């Protein structure tokens, strides 16, 4: 059995990942979110639902008993504080494996006209705070995988490729369902992609902007 703690479990990717993680009978989930009554119906013999704020170390530590892997699908202008709280709680709980959803552009790795447009869209706080949060994770001694999705679509498809930190980002878009599939794959292979930061895009989507933006 693998016990997975899903942080920000009401998030759009997290809900898709929950479905894919539960398709593997080996997984048991703890869904961690604010206002947990929103997911009360999801509880069953393999799913526990707990209330908590991911910026509060004590909430996280309380949820980490018996956990094997943490999947953080968080957001917000305080994401650096959330990263600090997650690292501190994992250290205190003796946990190592963390899958952390971030964003494209945190290393200024998006080339060309799309990279310029991405800066125009995401500068002014978002990229800087997500970069700071990723640095907190990378400076820890956790077995992390940072996931940097391209612009997210809700397409009902799994189609993705990855790039490593240090390589130029590829493509412009990727489906949330693809990121969920990658998360499930990483949970199933706990020794893979350790201390890696993966850019994730749909193949053959290079362009100046995501296709749906005119």
Contacts of ligand NAP in 46-65 (CB under 6 A): 53-55
DSSP structure string for 51-107? E--TT-HHHHHHH-TT-SEEEE---STTHHHHHHHHHHHHHHHT--EEEEE--TTTT
| Residue from 65, 87, 62 nearest 74 by CA | 87
Between CA 149 and CA 160 the distance in angstroms is 10
Q: How far is the CB of 81 from ligand NAP (least distance, A)?
A: 8
> Stretches 6-14, 23-31, 41-49, 137-145: which one binds ligand NAP (CB under 6 A)?
6-14
**Nearest approach, Cβ of 56 to ligand NAP (angstroms)?**
8
Of 146, 147, 149, 161, nearest to 195 by C-alpha is 146
Contact characters 9-28, ligand NAP, x per CB under 6 A: -xxxxx--------------
Write out the binding residues for ligand NAP, residues 68-107 only, by CB under 6 A: 73-76, 82, 101, 103-104
Contact predicate 98/145, CB 8 Å: yes
Q: Which residue number, 12 or 48, has a Cβ lying nearer to ligand NAP? A: 12
Q: Which stretch binds ligand NAP (CB under 6 A): 4-12, 108-116, 158-166, 190-198?
A: 4-12
- 163 makes contact with ligand NAP (CB under 6 A): no
Q: What is the number of the residue whose Cβ is closest to ligand NAP?
A: 11
Strands 196-201 and 161-164: antiparallel
Contact by Cβ (8 Å): 92, 61? yes
Quote the tokens at residue 121. Answer: 């869209």
- Site for ligand NAP, rule CB under 6 A: 8, 10-14, 33-34, 53-55, 73-76, 82, 101, 103-104, 149, 151-152, 176
């Amino acid at each position: 059995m693998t016990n997975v703690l899903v942080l920000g479990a009401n998030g759009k990717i997290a809900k898709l990942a929950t479905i894919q993680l539960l398709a593997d009978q080996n997984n048991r989930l703890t869904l961690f979110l604010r206002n947990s009554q929103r997911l009360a119906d999801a509880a069953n013999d393999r799913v526990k639902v707990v209330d908590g704020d991911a910026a509060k170390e004590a909430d996280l530590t309380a949820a980490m008993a018996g956990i094997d892997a943490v999947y953080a699908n968080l957001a917000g202008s305080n994401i650096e504080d959330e990263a600090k709280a997650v690292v501190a709680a994992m250290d205190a709980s003796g946990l190592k494996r963390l899958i952390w959803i971030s964003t494209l552009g945190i290393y200024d790795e998006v080339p060309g006209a799309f990279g310029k447009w991405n800066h125009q869209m995401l500068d002014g706080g978002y990229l800087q705070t997500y970069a700071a949060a990723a640095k907190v994770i990378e400076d820890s001694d956790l077995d992390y995988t940072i996931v940097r999705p391209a612009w997210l679509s809700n397409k009902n498809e799994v189609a993705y490729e990855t790039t490593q930190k240090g390589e130029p980002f590829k493509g412009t878009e990727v489906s949330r369902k693809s990121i969920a599939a990658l998360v499930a794959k990483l949970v199933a292979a706990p020794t893979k992609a350790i201390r890696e930061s993966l850019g994730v895009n749909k193949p053959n989507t290079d362009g100046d902007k995501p296709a749906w933006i005119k």
